[in-house]
Amino acid sequence: MDKKKVELLKSKGWKAGSVEEFLDLSEEELAYIEIRISLSRLIKELRAQKQLTQQQTADLISSSQSRVAKIEAGDPSVSLDLQIRSLLALGASKEDLADAIIS
């Protein structure tokens, strides 16, 4: 949020802070969420690079189109295992996974 907006909110009695402050997340919880989001983005990018539809991707991982949409959206109901299996099915290497985790 830009500085002007923060100052305006503060002048109106609001408090500005980070997401982790608002949700009271530990460093570990924040890191875990960031990793899951990064993996979701990579899945979407790889699917687009391969010019696959969500349905084609679902067929590839033996799942449904709606599940692929949830994977790409970072839905918390999607397991880390399914994210990784999806990435591997889309041709991601271990190095791609490592890059997604550390970025």
Residue 77: per-residue pLDDT: 95
Nearest to 1 by CA among 13, 17, 12: 17
**Domain assignment present for 10:** no
- Tell me if 56 sits within 8 A of 8, measured CB to CB: no
**Domain assignment present for 1:** no
Secondary structure class of 16 (helix, strand, coil): coil
Does the reported pTM lie above 0.85? no
**Positive or negative torsion for Cα 63, 67, 45, 26:** negative
For residue 94, the enclosing domain spans 25-102
Structural domain total, the chain? 1
Mind listing the pLDDT tens digit for each residue in 4-53? 888 888 888 887 777 777 788 888 998 999 999 999 999 999 999 999 99
Indicate which CATH number applies to the domain containing 43: 1.10.260.40
Mind listing the pLDDT tens digit for each residue in 42-99? 999 999 999 999 999 999 999 999 999 999 999 999 999 999 999 999 999 999 999 9
The angle at the Cα of 70, spanning 93 to 94, to the nearest 5 degrees, equals: 10
